[in-house]
Amino acid sequence: MVNLQDILAARERIRGAIRPTPCPASDYFTERTGCSAVWFKMENLQRTGAFKERGALNKLLVLSAEEKARGVIAASAGNHAQGLAYHARRLGVKATIVMPERTPLIKVSRTRDEYGARVILTGSNFDEAYAEALHLQKEENLVFVHPFDDPHVIAGQGTIGLELLEQVPFADMVVVPVGGGGLISGVSCALKETNPRIQVVGVQTAALASMKASLEAGHVVELPAASTIAEGIAVRRAGELTFEMVRKYVDDVVTVDEEEIANAILMLLEQEKSVVEGAGAVGLAAVINGHLPKATNKKVVLLLGGGNIDMNVISRIIERGLVKAGRLVRLEVRLPDRPGMLARLTAEIAEKRANVVEIHHNRAFSKASLGEVMVEVTLETTGRPHIQELIDALGSQGWQVAEEP
């Protein structure tokens, strides 16, 4: 099992190549979570956009000259891939990365084109990519670098805990994303072995909570494959080593659902001006949605594990969030089919200071009767009261108005 000395050694080993990340306080989330104070550990600001390069580099630095000459291979949903590929290139080591076919394009392109690794896309999930990586490792005599169940990888991730102890020494609780368990194993060891008073809580996506299920069963279990917005922690089976470390050091593991994760991504983007992927945002999702009642009136650090999110996903999250917040709405308005009615409608909308995003004038394919026309209009608004004001104003003209769900 990894110990504090291993983590201290890892810190010295990677010093200079890994930048310490900032840990700023957040007034906004302190006011809205019930915590006495909230800090964000910004691992999304690492060179490759995630904490994973700490463990990958530590592993590379302990390889023998003969092992480096053979080259390394890993299976990864993206962040471990980028961290390993980047530092392998720096050290002159050839890297092969096997990724699931649905890995976000940004992670694939950076690993292959920017960091120079050979990338193989195979399988529908991490476990299938992992099986192929093991096959290639034997076939090509490569050195396998596990994304989480490796003592040197765990020790490298644990260096985050050492930084936290210096940045927020008075923290009561640290909230950490959990997939296979490498991050929380290292961080919790560093924290608990130095200051046992600090509570460490892990957060998983409810879609694939393999560590939580393993803790409840008392042994490592394997869950069926599932899709999730938090693909970086979509691991069906927790590690054997990480399971034992989590059982020893971690106080609790909770879960969050997909809507909660998406909302947390949007809140971080809007309020903290920080781009964070689903796997990195689960800690905030847990605190904001009341899954951590023990965080009330506590000084809490939330670890933002990575920021490598696909731009198309961000776009969908933003639009969906705007709809939920009442800042984007689609209305169906039934008008008399006469010249000038569409102009009257848009004039009324302008009078109420809503902005037209899209308008669709539907005569043939609608529920409107002969002599009427259905107009679908998508509007930017300021919130739910503004939407109701619009509906009332349009209704006062004698038009039937309905908000599309």
Q: Are residue 57 and residue 193 in the same domain, yes or no?
A: no
Report the 10 Å Cβ neighbour count for 101.
Answer: 12
Judge whether 394 and 332 are in contact, CB under 8 Å.
Answer: no
Q: Are residue 209 and residue 296 in the same domain, yes or no?
A: yes
Q: Are residue 159 and residue 300 in the same domain, yes or no?
A: yes
Query: Which helix (H) or strand (E) element contains residue 187?
Result: helix 182-194
Q: In sequence order, which residues have a C-beta less than 8 Å from that of residue 46 and are 6 or more positions away?
A: 18, 19, 21, 53, 54, 83
The three-point CA angle 90-279-169 to 5° equals: 80
- Domain with 342, as residue range(s), is 326-403
Q: What percent of the chain has pLDDT over 70?
A: 98
Judge whether 332 and 376 are in contact, CB under 8 Å.
Answer: yes
* The token pair that represents 247 in the structure block: 């059982």
Find, among 196, 141, 136, the residue nearest to 172 by Cα.
Answer: 196
> For residues 54 and 49, what is the distance between their CA atoms, to the nearest angstrom?
11
Q: Are residue 308 and residue 222 in the same domain, yes or no?
A: yes
The last residue of one of the domains, among 298, 320, 342, is 320
Q: Are residue 196 and residue 273 in the same domain, yes or no?
A: yes
> For residues 55 and 363, what is the distance between their CA atoms, to the nearest angstrom?
61
The last residue of one of the domains, among 292, 320, 348, is 320
pTM: 0.88
380: phi then psi, degrees, rounded to nearest 5 = -90, 130
CA atoms within 13 A of residue 388's CA, in its CB half-sphere? 3
Looking at the DSSP assignment, which residues form a beta bridge with residue 362?
A: 374
**Domain count along the chain:** 3
- Please tell me the total number of residues recorded for the chain in this structure: 405
Instruction: Give the pLDDT confidence score for residue 28 in this predicted structure.
Output: 96
Instruction: Give the pLDDT confidence score for residue 181 in this predicted structure.
Output: 97
Mind listing the pLDDT tens digit for each residue in 253-309?
A: 999 999 999 999 999 999 999 999 999 999 999 999 999 999 999 999 999 999 998
Strand runs (DSSP E) across 206-293, as ranges? 252-256
Find, among 201, 225, 226, 222, the residue nearest to 213 by Cα.
Answer: 222
Q: What CATH number does the domain containing 336 carry?
A: 3.30.70.260
Q: Are residue 138 and residue 155 in the same domain, yes or no?
A: no
Q: Are residue 102 and residue 248 in the same domain, yes or no?
A: no
Report the 10 Å Cβ neighbour count for 109.
Answer: 12
Judge whether 195 and 187 are in contact, CB under 8 Å.
Answer: no
Q: Are residue 174 and residue 301 in the same domain, yes or no?
A: yes
Instruction: Give the pLDDT confidence score for residue 103 in this predicted structure.
Output: 82
Instruction: Give the pLDDT confidence score for residue 366 in this predicted structure.
Output: 61
Q: Are residue 249 and residue 338 in the same domain, yes or no?
A: no
Q: How would DSSP label each residue in 318-376?
A: HHHHHHHTTSEEEEEEEEESSTTHHHHHHHHHHHTT-EEEEEEEESSSSSPPTTEEEEE
* The token pair that represents 20 in the structure block: 């310490």
Q: Is the pLDDT assigned to residue 365 strictly greater than 70?
A: no
Q: Is the pLDDT assigned to residue 72 strictly greater than 90?
A: yes
Instruction: Give the pLDDT confidence score for residue 361 in this predicted structure.
Output: 83
In this structure, which amino acid lies at residue 62?
A: V
**Burial class, 322, CB count within 10 angstroms (exposed 0-12 / middle 13-18 / buried 19+):** middle
Mean pLDDT for the stretch of residues 368-372: 73
Helix%, strand%, coil% for the chain, nearest 5: 50, 20, 30
Q: Are residue 312 and residue 199 in the same domain, yes or no?
A: yes
Report the 10 Å Cβ neighbour count for 271.
Answer: 14
* The token pair that represents 183 in the structure block: 């991050």
Distances (CA, A) of 45 to 51, 141, 305: 9, 34, 9
Q: What CATH number does the domain containing 98 carry?
A: 3.40.50.1100
Query: Rg of the chain's alpha carbons, rounded to an integer?
Result: 25
Instruction: Give the pLDDT confidence score for residue 368 in this predicted structure.
Output: 63
The last residue of one of the domains, among 285, 320, 355, is 320
Mind listing the pLDDT tens digit for each residue in 138-173?
A: 999 999 999 999 999 999 999 999 999 999 999 999
Q: Are residue 259 and residue 374 in the same domain, yes or no?
A: no
Q: Are residue 39 and residue 107 in the same domain, yes or no?
A: no
Instruction: Give the pLDDT confidence score for residue 34 in this predicted structure.
Output: 92
Helices 182-194 and 240-249, packing angle to 10 deg: 30
Mean pLDDT for the stretch of residues 188-201: 98
